[in-house]
Amino acid sequence: MLLPVDILTKLIVHAPWTISAGRGRVASLMIDELEVQAGPLARRRVPGPDPGSVTESFEAGTHLVRSKNVKWLDPAGYARRVDVGLRGLNLHGREIDGWRGRNSQRDCAFVDGLYGTGLRLSEWASVLRLELPADDETRTYYTCRLAEACAKGGRGRRFWMPRSVLVDVLAYEEGERAAAVRRAQRACRYDRLPGVGLLQNGLCR
C-alpha cells in the first residue's frame, strides 16, 4: 500500500510509542529509511480558495463538480415549508399544538417577497412602502424599480413583483402591523423616542 508523505508523517509523529521531544526527528529518520513513494495519481496546481494562494488537485478530476450542494424547492415544497416553519401549521393545515410563533404574518410576507421577486435579502428589506404599487385586481405582476443605493454594486434595476406578494404585504400592513402600531400608541412609546419627525404631505415636522 502506498501512502502520501504527509499522511505517513502524521502517523509517525502522533504514534503512541514516540516521545514528545523526538517525534519530529523520529519521523524524518523513518521517512528517509522507508523510501516513501509518491502517490500513483497525477496532480496539478490550481488556484486556492484565498486570493493568490495555490493548492493541488487531481489531474483526472472532473471539471463539472459543483462547489456547493444546492437544493431547489418547487412552489409546492416552498409553500409546505412556509406553512410548517412560519405559520405553525401541520401537514393537514391545522395549527400545531403548542405553537408559539411570533409575527407570522410579517415573516411570511417577507419570505414570500424574497421568493416571488428574486431580490436579495438586503434589497427586499430596503423597499419602502411608498415604492410599492397600488393594488390592481386585473394584474398578475407589477414592474417595480430597485433604487441604486439599495442594489448590489449600486446598480439599480427593474424587478417583477407578483400580485400575491403585494397582497401579503398590504395584509400585514393592515393586520399585525396596524395592531402593533395601535398598541405602541396606547403605551405612548412613540412619544418617548428622541428625534422623531412627523411626515405630512411630503414635509417633515
Give 26's DSSP letter: H
CA atoms of 196 and 188, how far apart (whole Å) = 13
CA atoms of 201 and 205, how far apart (whole Å) = 10
Share the mean pLDDT of the chain: 76
pTM of the predicted protein model: 0.60
Neighbours of 161 (CB within 10 A): 21
Residues of the chain with pLDDT > 90, as a percent, come to: 38
Confidence of residue 145 (pLDDT cuts 50, 70, 90): very high
